C-alpha cells in the first residue's frame, strides 16, 4: 500500500494516530528514498510534539526491526540475556558485568556502540586494549558465545538500518528528546539481537540523558513494555548519574578500573551496580541460584574476561596506554566534598580527547579524568581532587573551563542511592 508522505506528516502533526500500514510504509519508503530527508524530519518533529500511543510505538519499533536482519541465537546452549545502559559518565559496568554473568552460566550477546559527546562508548574503551577488535563476523560472534559465553562487539550494517538513518537525522534536527523515539531506537536494536531476556540500566541525573526521575521512569516503562510485547523478558533499573561512576572517565582509565573490579577490588559503587545488574540478568535468564557477588570474589569472572579479550584479538596482559600529560584540579576550600558534577566531568573528558563531537571523529585511548576524591570525602583547600589525563596539553584549558563550578565543598554530599527504582515483573 502506498501513501502520501505529506498526509502522514499532517496526521501526526494534527494529533492523529498513525495506522500500522502508514508506519510500515513510511519507514520502508524512507529507506528506499521515496520519503525525503526533510519529510522524515518533519514527521519526527511531529512525533516529538505530539507523542505516540502505545500501539503506534509498538508498530514503529517493529517496522524498524523489519528494516534489517534479526539475529538467530537458537544454537546457543545457554540462556541468553543482554544488558543496555542509556549512557553516563564513567559507566564501565559492561566491562565487568558481561564476563561476570557469563561466568554464572548465561550467554551475554552484547552489541555495543561508541561514545558521542560527554557519554563514553563501550567499544572505544575496549579498543584501548592492544589488539582488541570490535568487528566480528556472525560465525565468530556465535562461536565466541558458545565458547566463552560473552561477546561485546559492534553491530553489523544489516541490524536495524532504519535506526542508523533515523538516529543521524534526529541528531541534526533537534528531534532526539522524545521518549517514544528513544525507546524505539534502543529496543529495536536489542530485540533484533535475539536475546531471550534484557536488563536495562536507565540513568538519571546531570550526567545522564534523562535529567529527572519522572522522565527516566517513563522511558523505562516504555522500553519494558516494548520488550514484553516482543516476547523478551525485560526489566529496568533506574540508577543515579549525578556523580561519575567509580573514579575514572576515559577509555583506558575505565578498562583499568573494570579489571580492578574483576580482581576483587575497585570502587564500591561500580561493584554495587555490577552485582545488582548481574542479579537482575541472572534472574531474567532463569539462573537466580548463583550469587554473582560470590563469583566475582572467587575470580571466575576474571578468567572469563581474559578469555573474552583474547577471543577478540586482545592481549589481557599488555600494559594499557597511558597519557603523556597529567594535570590536577584542586579543591577550592576545606571541608566536606559535596558535589563532583557528572556532566562537567564528562565534558572535560571529551575535551581532553576521550570522546567525539561527530561519529566519525577519532578518540584518544589515554585521555580522561580521574576522581581523586568523591562526594562525602573530606578535603583541604589546594588538595588535588581531579587529575586530567591527555596526550595534548593544548586541550587542558578547555577541559578546565568545563569544570568551572563542578566541584563544590560544604553542605551535604550529593549522594543518592545508586538504584532509585525498578520497573518490570518479579
Per-residue confidence of the chain (426 residues) as pLDDT tens digits? Answer: 789 999 999 999 999 999 999 999 999 999 999 999 999 999 999 999 999 999 999 999 999 999 999 999 999 999 999 999 998 999 999 999 999 999 999 999 999 887 766 777 899 999 999 999 999 999 999 999 999 999 999 998 999 999 999 988 998 898 988 999 999 999 999 999 999 999 999 999 999 989 999 999 999 999 999 999 999 999 999 999 999 999 999 999 999 999 999 999 999 999 999 999 999 999 999 998 889 999 999 889 999 999 999 999 999 999 999 999 999 999 999 999 999 999 999 999 999 999 877 777 789 999 999 999 999 999 999 999 999 999 999 999 999 999 999 999 997 776 679 999 999 986
Within this chain, do residues 205 and 111 fall inside the same structural domain, yes or no? Answer: yes
Note if 189 is an active site residue: yes
CB-based contact 233:227 (threshold 8 Å): yes
Domain that holds residue 384: 325-409
Note if 315 is an active site residue: no
**Active-site residue (options: 59, 83, 125, 170):** 170
Within this chain, do residues 230 and 351 fall inside the same structural domain, yes or no? Answer: no
**Active-site residue (options: 12, 59, 83, 84):** 84
Q: Is the pTM of this model over 0.75?
A: yes
Within this chain, do residues 342 and 214 fall inside the same structural domain, yes or no? Answer: no
Within this chain, do residues 218 and 336 fall inside the same structural domain, yes or no? Answer: no
Residue 63 belongs to some domain of the structure: no
Note if 163 is an active site residue: yes
**Active-site residue (options: 82, 91, 124, 163):** 163
Measured between alpha carbons, how far is 129 from 319 in angstroms, rounded to an integer? 8
CB-based contact 91:245 (threshold 8 Å): yes
Note if 13 is an active site residue: no
Residue 57 belongs to some domain of the structure: no
**Active-site residue (options: 112, 185, 206, 364):** 185
Q: Supply 412's cell numbers.
A: 551535604
> Domains in the chain: how many in total?
3
Measured between alpha carbons, how far is 401 from 405 in angstroms, rounded to an integer? 9
The values of phi and psi at residue 67, to 5°, are: -70, -10
* SS3 of residue 212 by DSSP: coil
List strand residue ranges (DSSP E) for 135-244, in order.
Answer: 150-154, 197-204, 233-240
Within this chain, do residues 312 and 329 fall inside the same structural domain, yes or no? Answer: no
Within this chain, do residues 88 and 237 fall inside the same structural domain, yes or no? Answer: yes
Structure letter (DSSP) for residue 267: -
Within this chain, do residues 235 and 102 fall inside the same structural domain, yes or no? Answer: yes
Amino acid at each position: 500500500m502506498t501513501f502520501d508522505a505529506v498526509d502522514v506528516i499532517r496526521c501526526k502533526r494534527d494529533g492523529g494516530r498513525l495506522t500500522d500500514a502508514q508506519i510500515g510504509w513510511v519507514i520502508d519508503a524512507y529507506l528506499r528514498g521515496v520519503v525525503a530527508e526533510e519529510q522524515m524530519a518533519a514527521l519526527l518533529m511531529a512525533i516529538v510534539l505530539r507523542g505516540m500511543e502505545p500501539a503506534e510505538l509498538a508498530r514503529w519499533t517493529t517496522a524498524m526491526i523489519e528494516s534489517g536482519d534479526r539475529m538467530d541465537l537458537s544454537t546457543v546452549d545457554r540462556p541468553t540475556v543482554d544488558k543496555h545502559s542509556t549512557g553516563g559518565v564513567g559507566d564501565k559496568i559492561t566491562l565487568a558485568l558481561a564476563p561476570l554473568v557469563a561466568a554464572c552460566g548465561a550467554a551475554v550477546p552484547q552489541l555495543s556502540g561508541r561514545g558521542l559527546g560527554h557519554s563514553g562508548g563501550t567499544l572505544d574503551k575496549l579498543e584501548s586494549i592492544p589488539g582488541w577488535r570490535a568487528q566480528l563476523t556472525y560465525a565468530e560472534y556465535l562461536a565466541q558465545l558458545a565458547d566463552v559465553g560473552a561477546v561485546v562487539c559492534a553491530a553489523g550494517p544489516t541490524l536495524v538500518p532504519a535506526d542508523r538513518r533515523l538516529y543521524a537525522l534526529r541528531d541534526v534536527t533537534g528531534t532526539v528528546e522524545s521518549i517514544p523515539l528513544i525507546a524505539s531506537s534502543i529496543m529495536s536494536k536489542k530485540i533484533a539481537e535475539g536475546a531471550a531476556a534484557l536488563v536495562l540500566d536507565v540513568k538519571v541525573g546531570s550526567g545522564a540523558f534523562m535529567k529527572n526521575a519522572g522522565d527516566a521512569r517513563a522511558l523505562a516503562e516504555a522500553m519494558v513494555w516494548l520488550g514484553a510485547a516482543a516476547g523478551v523478558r525485560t526489566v529496568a533499573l533506574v540508577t543515579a548519574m549525578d556523580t561519575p561512576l567509580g573514579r575514572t572517565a576515559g577509555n583506558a582509565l575505565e578498562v583499568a578500573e573494570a579489571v580492578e573490579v574483576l580482581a576483587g577490588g575497585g570502587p564500591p559503587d561500580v561493584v554495587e551496580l555490577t552485582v545488582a545488574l548481574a542479579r537482575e540478568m541472572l534472574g531474567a535468564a532463569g539462573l537466580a541460584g548463583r550469587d554473582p557477588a560470590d563469583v566475582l570474589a572467587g575470580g571466575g569472572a576474571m578468567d572469563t574476561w581474559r578469555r573474552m579479550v583474547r577471543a577478540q584479538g586482545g592481549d589481557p596482559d599488555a600494559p594499557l596506554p597511558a597519557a603523556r600529560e597529567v594535570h590536577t584540579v584542586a579543591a577550592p576550600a576545606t571541608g566536606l566534598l559535596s558535589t563532583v558534577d557528572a556532566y562537567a566531568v564528562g565534558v572535560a573528558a571529551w575535551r581532553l580527547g576521550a570522546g567525539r563531537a561527530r561519529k566519525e571523529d577519532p578518540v584518544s585511548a589515554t585521555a580522561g579524568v580521574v576522581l581523586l576524591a568523591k562526594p562525602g570525602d573530606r578535603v583541604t583547600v589546594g588538595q588535588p581532587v581531579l587529575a586530567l589525563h591527555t596526550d595534548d596539553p593544548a586541550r587542558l584549558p578547555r577541559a578546565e573551563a568545563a569544570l568551572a563550578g563542578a566541584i563544590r565543598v560544604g553542605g551535604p554530599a550529593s549522594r543518592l542511592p545508586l538504584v532509585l527504582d525498578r520497573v518490570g515483573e518479579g
